[in-house]
């Protein structure tokens, strides 16, 4: 910024008065507002311990206030429960992708000092109105009035305790037959059958009214006795879950099943809940009221349990958008509501698994010992037969080399015989046709030179290690490289040496070497490409060069003293193979050879 001009000054706008229904207007987003309400709950942030949520109720809706605390536990926000307060904070209406989403408007309060108490919580928590029930039944009333309940201040209900559950939850039956739930915040818990007054903030699990942050006290009537309506309904093993949830919430039912999971309490060690299998259903039984059991049900016992049907919903919390239903829990009234029909048999599936495991361990040990003995025997057998195997390999190698020597002897002998014929012909024409005599002697001379070269190469092949190389491409490189001078050789021959015999390997090497030498000597090639493969007992390879090329039909033969291609063709024919020549002047030469192994 190069320059700035002051246009004027004005005071910061003060906070705006707002109600929960107004916060849905984006006009209030990120603005400082003042809101009033009754604090119904204080909830810890599950992610960041530096924040706590106040749940506030207003006649036009409920809302949340996220309050930043200086350190964990600072600021006694729990004392605000039941108090009417005024809160100044920043409103968050429009989602920005970074905030957590809630079903109600939310304020962000930077410090607890921005909370002002208008009127404290009442001294007598029971001096509040009684919650209304209409004549159509609480379920219909609840479903249509869930939003209304979330705006109501403390109310009370009076009735008889029909179930006491873990986590300080209870159910009571009001005088007009409605079922009401409550989570007692503090003080002693009542017992089954006590007539009590419970006061708290009404919420709902979409089935019944449930009081949060509740307190309770006994009525002057004290305890009452069970009536005829307390008779339990027997559920069959194939009962329908949906019908049971719809018809039996808060009613006595009796089920029979097998214990599958006793869950001990961390405080007493006694089972806090027992899970039983009844047909295709798994039912938890809350053991909170079952004190003084003479025999604790164990895994595998078949029991009969009588108790109040309590629908399981997710932990009901004003921050939850919608509770999820997960079957029901059976809440017995006392230890008399549990009867063990038959104990688990001594020979249980668990003991059977232990025996099976022990047998498996024993069999594994026997298998390992047998395996060890077999390895020792195989090792000694390999040592005993190793010498014989090596000897057999040596004999086989000697046989192949002997056959190779015989083949070389026959080839050289045949060549020398041809030389003798040329000399004889020269002798016969010595006096009559000196020119023919010279021609015969020239052919004989070139034949002897070719024979000498062939003999030298064969002796070199027998004495070097190329035939013993496991990498046939490397062996070809060693064979061809000394014979082609400065010409570049590229080899692609993915054939494993053990796949072919010494005789075949020697023949392939000689053929490729002869073709490579011809390409350099007669075609002046600068680059030679050698490729081959082994498939279905057939060795197929090619030698291609970038030399001058020739016309295959007009190539010179033995009569002109050129024995290379003729020797290659005879060798391929002897091996039962075929040779194909592709060449033309100026375009190089490609010779393809196929040999049956």
Q: What is the full per-residue pLDDT of the chain (597 aa) written as tens digits?
A: 577 777 777 677 788 899 888 887 888 888 899 999 999 888 888 788 888 889 899 888 888 898 988 755 555 888 899 999 999 998 887 555 445 555 666 888 988 889 999 999 888 889 888 887 765 444 344 444 667 777 888 899 999 999 999 889 999 998 888 889 999 988 899 999 899 999 999 888 778 888 989 999 998 876 665 444 568 899 998 899 888 888 888 899 999 999 987 765 555 555 678 899 998 999 999 988 888 777 788 888 899 999 999 988 775 554 555 567 888 999 999 888 999 998 887 777 778 889 999 999 999 999 999 999 999 998 888 888 887 777 776 765 666 566 556 556 555 665 666 667 667 777 778 778 777 777 777 777 776 776 666 666 666 555 555 666 668 888 888 888 887 888 899 999 988 877 787 778 878 888 888 888 888 888 889 999 999 998 888 899 999 999 998 888 877 655 555 556 777 888 888 888 899 999 888 889 999 999 886
Distance CA 208, CA 143 (A): 9
pLDDT reported for residue 424: 75
pLDDT reported for residue 513: 85
Rg, C-alpha atoms of the chain: 51
Pairing state between β 271-278 and 252-264: antiparallel
Neighbour-count burial for 127-149, b at 16+ CB within 10 Å, e otherwise? ebeebebeeeebeebbeebeeeb
Neighbour order of strands in the sheet with 527-535: 488-492, 527-535, 538-545, 589-596, 578-583
* DSSP helix/strand/coil, 328: strand
Q: Which of 596, 581, 594 is nearest to 549 (CA)?
A: 581
pLDDT reported for residue 256: 94
pLDDT reported for residue 317: 54
Q: What is the DSSP string of 250-307?
A: TSEEEEEEEEEEEEE-TTTSSEEEEEEEETTEEEEEE-TT-TT-SS---TT-EEEEEE
Q: Is residue 201 within 8 Å of 152, Cβ to Cβ?
A: yes
Distance CA 458, CA 450 (A): 12
For 3, 54, 304, 483, 540, the CA distances from 488, given in Å and listed in that order, are 75, 85, 93, 11, 22
Q: Which of 256, 190, 253 is nearest to 224 (CA)?
A: 190
Distance CA 292, CA 342 (A): 20
Enter the DSSP assignment of 145.
T
pLDDT reported for residue 305: 93
**Residue 544, token pair as written in the block:** 């291609």
pLDDT reported for residue 95: 56
Q: Which residues contact 445 (CB under 8 A, 6 or more apart)?
A: none
Neighbour-count burial for 457-488, b at 16+ CB within 10 Å, e otherwise? bbeebeeeebbebeebeebbbebbeebbeebe
Neighbour-count burial for 286-311, b at 16+ CB within 10 Å, e otherwise? bbbbbeeeeebbeeebbbebbbbbbb
Measured in residues, the chain has a length of 597
**349-428 and 434-463 helices, crossing angle to 10°:** 160
Q: Which of 532, 529, 554 is nearest to 541 (CA)?
A: 532
For 402, 411, 417, the CA distances from 406, given in Å and listed in that order, are 6, 9, 16
**Tokens 């009076």 map to which residue?**
158
């Amino acid at each position: 910024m190069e320059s700035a001009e002051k246009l004027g000054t004005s005071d910061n706008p003060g906070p705006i008065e707002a109600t929960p229904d107004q916060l849905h207007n984006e006009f209030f987003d990120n603005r400082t507002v003042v809101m009033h309400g009754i604090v119904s709950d204080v909830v810890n942030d599950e992610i960041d311990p530096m924040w706590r949520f106040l749940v506030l109720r207003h006649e036009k809706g409920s809302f949340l206030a996220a309050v930043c605390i200086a350190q964990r536990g600072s600021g006694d926000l729990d004392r605000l429960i039941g108090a009417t307060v005024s809160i100044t904070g920043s409103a968050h209406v429009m989602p920005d992708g970074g905030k957590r989403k809630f079903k109600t408007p939310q304020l962000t309060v930077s410090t607890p000092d921005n909370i002002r108490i208008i009127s404290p919580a009442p001294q007598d928590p029971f001096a509040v109105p009684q919650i209304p029930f209409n004549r159509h039944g609480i379920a219909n009333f609840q479903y249509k009035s869930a939003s209304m309940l979330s705006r109501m201040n403390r109310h009370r209900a009076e009735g008889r305790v029909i179930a006491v559950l873990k986590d300080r939850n209870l159910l009571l039956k009001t005088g007009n037959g409605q079922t009401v739930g409550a989570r007692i915040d503090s003080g002693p818990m009542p017992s089954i059958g006590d007539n009590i007054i419970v006061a708290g903030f009404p919420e709902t699990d979409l089935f019944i009214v449930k009081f949060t942050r509740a307190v309770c006290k006994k009525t002057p009537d004290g305890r009452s006795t069970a009536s005829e309506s307390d008779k339990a309904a027997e559920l069959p093993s194939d009962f329908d879950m949906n019908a049971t949830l719809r018809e039996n919430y808060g009613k006595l039912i009796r089920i029979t099943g097998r214990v599958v999971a006793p869950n001990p309490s961390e405080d007493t060690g006694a089972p806090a809940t027992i899970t039983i299998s009844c047909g295709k259903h798994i039912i938890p039984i809350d053991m909170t009221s079952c004190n003084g059991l003479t025999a604790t049900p164990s895994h595998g016992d078949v029991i009969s349990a009588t108790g109040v049907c309590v629908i399981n919903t997710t932990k009901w919390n004003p921050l939850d958008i919608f509770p999820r239903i997960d079957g029901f829990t059976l809440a017995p009234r006392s230890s008399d509501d549990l009867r063990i029909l038959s104990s688990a048999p001594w020979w249980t599936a668990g003991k059977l698994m232990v025996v099976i495991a022990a047998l498996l361990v024993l069999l594994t040990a026997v298998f390992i010992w047998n395996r060890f003995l077999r390895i020792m025997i195989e090792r000694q057998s390999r040592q005993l037969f190793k010498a014989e195997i090596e000897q057999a390999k040596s004999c086989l190698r000697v046989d192949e080399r002997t056959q190779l020597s015989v083949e070389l002897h026959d080839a050289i002998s045949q060549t020398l015989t041809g030389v003798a014929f040329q000399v004889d012909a020269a002798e016969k024409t010595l006096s009559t046709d000196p020119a023919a005599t010279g021609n015969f002697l020239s052919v004989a001379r070139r034949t002897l030179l070719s024979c000498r070269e062939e003999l030298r190469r064969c002796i070199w092949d027998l004495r070097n290690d190329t035939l013993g190389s496991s990498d046939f491409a490397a062996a070809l490189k060693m064979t061809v490289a000394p014979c082609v001078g400065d010409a570049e050789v590229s080899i692609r021959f993915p054939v494993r040496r053990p796949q072919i015999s010494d005789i075949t390997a020697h023949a392939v090497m000689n053929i490729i070497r002869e073709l490579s030498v011809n390409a350099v000597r007669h075609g002046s090639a600068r680059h030679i490409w050698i490729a081959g493969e082994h498939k279905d007992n057939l060795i197929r390879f090619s030698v291609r060069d970038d030399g001058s090329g020739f016309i295959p039909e007009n190539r010179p033969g033995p009569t002109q003293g050129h024995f290379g291609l003729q020797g290659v063709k005879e060798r391929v024919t002897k091996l039962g193979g075929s040779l194909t020549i592709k060449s033309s002047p100026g375009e190089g030469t490609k010779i393809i050879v196929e040999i049956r192994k």
